[in-house]
Structure 1
Amino acid sequence: MALANALSRKAGTATTSRPVPFTSRVCVAARARVAVASPCVSRQPQQIVCQAAAVEVADKPAKVHPSPLSIAPPATYAIVEIGGTQMFVEPGKWYTCNRLKADVGSKIQFGRVLALKHDGKLTVGKPYLGNVNVEAEIIEELRGPKVIVYKMRPKKHYRRKQGHRQELSKFMVTKIEAQ
C-alpha cells in the first residue's frame, strides 16, 4: 500500500483508505511491478498508477431494461390449451408445440380457450370459453434439439445410450374471434 501511495502522490492522484483487494499491474514506462488497489465489483473508473499510464478507463454505462409493468400487453390475446399445455397466443405471431395431426398449410381451430382479452375486456372461462375460436395455419413440421438418454448401473456393466428428438409443429395464429 505504501508503494501505491508513493506512486500515486508522484502521479498526482489520491488513493482510497478503504480495504480493497489488490491486483498486480505492470507500468510500461517504469518497467516496474506495482500493486494497485482495485475493487472486485465496481462501476467506477480505474485508478491512474503513473503519468505514463494516465489514461482514464471508464466502464460502459449500465443497460437500462424496461420494467415488465411498463411493457403494454397486446390489445387482443388468448390463452389456449394445446396438447395438454397452455399457451399465450396473439394474432400474427408464430408458435411451436408438440406435433399436431394436421398437414402443412392446413387451417386449424383451437376450441379450448381458457381466457380472452378483446377490446380491453378480459373474459375467463370455467374452465373453457364456449364462444371463442382461435384460428391458425400450420407453417412447418420440425424436430427439436437432440436429447441424450443415458442409463447406467455401476459395477454391473450395464450402459444404454439413446438419443431423442421431439417432433414439433410450427403454427401461425391468423385470427382470434369471439362470437
Structure 2
Amino acid sequence: MYAVIKTGGKQYKVAAGQKLKIEQIPADIGSEITIDQVLAVGAGDTLKVGAPLVAGATVVATVVAHGRHDKVTIFKMRRRKHYQKHQGHRQNYTELHIVSING
C-alpha cells in the first residue's frame, strides 16, 4: 500500500516502513505525527484519488531526526563587469519513518 502526501509545499509518494526527509516541522524526536493531507491512496492495481484530498485517509509517521541538508553553493557572475557573488545555503529537514497508511 502506498500514498501520495502533501507537506511543506511538496508532494511525496510514501509506503509503510520508508524513511523520508521533508521540510522541517516543529515536532519532537520520537513523537508520532499524523499527516492528513493525503492526495491519493493505492494498493496493488486499485487507486483512490481525492478531489483534492482523500476523505478519512491519514498517514502515521514517527520523527527520527532533525538536521540540515548539504550546502548548496550559489555563484553569480557578470563577465567583463568585475562582479562576482558567492553565497551558500543549507536547508533544514525533518526525517520521518512511515509507520502506517490508513485509508
TM-score, normalised on structure 1? 0.53
| Structure number with higher relative contact order (C-alpha < 8 Å, ≥ 6 residues apart) | 2
Give the equivalent residue in structure 2 for 1:167.
92
Secondary structure of the residue aligned to 1:131 is coil
Render the CA deviation track for 1:29-66: whole Å, top value 9, x for unaligned: xxxxxxxxxxxxxxxxxxxxxxxxxxxxxxxxxxxxxx
Supply the distance in 1 between the matched residues of 2:56 and 2:100 (Cα, whole angstroms): 14
Q: 2:25 aligns with which of 88, 100, 115?
A: 100
Aligned pairs for 1:47-126 within 5 A: 76-118=1-43, 121-126=46-51
Supply the distance in 2 between the matched residues of 1:118 and 1:160 (Cα, whole angstroms): 49
Supply the distance in 2 between the matched residues of 1:123 and 1:137 (Cα, whole angstroms): 24
Unaligned runs of 5+ in 2: none
Q: What fraction of aligned residue pairs are identical, expressed as a percent?
A: 35
Does 2:77 align with 1:152?
A: yes
Q: 1:151 to 1:120 in 2, by over 3 A?
A: closer
Supply the distance in 1 between the matched residues of 2:79 and 2:14 (Cα, whole angstroms): 46
Unaligned runs of 5+ in 1: 1-75
**Counterpart amino acid of residue 90 in structure 2:** R
| Aligned-residue offset at 1:144 | 1.1
Q: In angstroms, what is the RMSD of aligned CA positions?
A: 1.7
Q: Tell me which protein shows more helix as a share of its residues.
A: 1
Aligned length: 103
Supply the distance in 1 between the matched residues of 2:22 and 2:91 (Cα, whole angstroms): 10
| Aligned-residue offset at 1:170 | 0.7
Give the equivalent residue in structure 2 for 1:134.
59
Higher Cα Rg, which structure: 1
Q: 1:157 to 1:119 in 2, by over 3 A?
A: closer
